[in-house]
Amino acid sequence: MKIPSQAVQRNVAGRFAAALLRGDAAGARALLVPADDGALVFLLQQAVVPSSTQQASIRLPGRRAGNLWTFRYVRRRTYRDGRFEMQKGDFVVLIAPSTAGASVEFFAFKNVRTRFSTHRDSQLLPSKR
């Protein structure tokens, strides 16, 4: 198989990162090269959070180093009991050649920083303005 172009790699990596962070497990899984790889599917299911409980943003386009693409992201997960967490970091996607042109071979979260809080904290703590 020939190596996919940089534009194709960027497109696939960006689509995968966006699908995963917006909670679209099926869309992200369709871009995996071994779509039935149990370990990757498990990691994908753990990483996907229902879009109804989170807000996420991703900085496109990603930075490239060989066939690794790195995206900066920020997401906020809100829980039913009023607590929430803010998470920032890098999302790394490894692109591999496939019969479809390019697919995701592996992904990982890197440099993750998480801040936990509750809605009551904003009432108890002094303003940061």
Query: What pLDDT does residue 121 have?
Result: 54
Sketch out the chain's domains with CATH numbers. 6-124 (3.10.450.50)
Query: What pLDDT does residue 15 have?
Result: 93
Q: Are 25 and 45 within 8 A, CB to CB? A: yes
Q: Count how many residues are written for the chain.
A: 129
Distance (Å) of CA 109 to CA 41, 69, 80, 106, 128: 15, 12, 25, 11, 29
CB neighbourhood size of 5 (10 A)? 11
pLDDT tens track for 99-120 = 878 899 999 999 999 988 875 5
pLDDT tens track for 51-96 = 666 788 888 888 999 889 999 999 888 888 878 888 899 999 999 8
Higher pLDDT, 11 or 38: 11
Higher pLDDT, 121 or 19: 19
Q: What's the alpha-carbon Rg for the chain, to the nearest Å?
A: 17
Q: Are 91 and 56 within 8 A, CB to CB? A: no
Query: What pLDDT does residue 128 have?
Result: 58
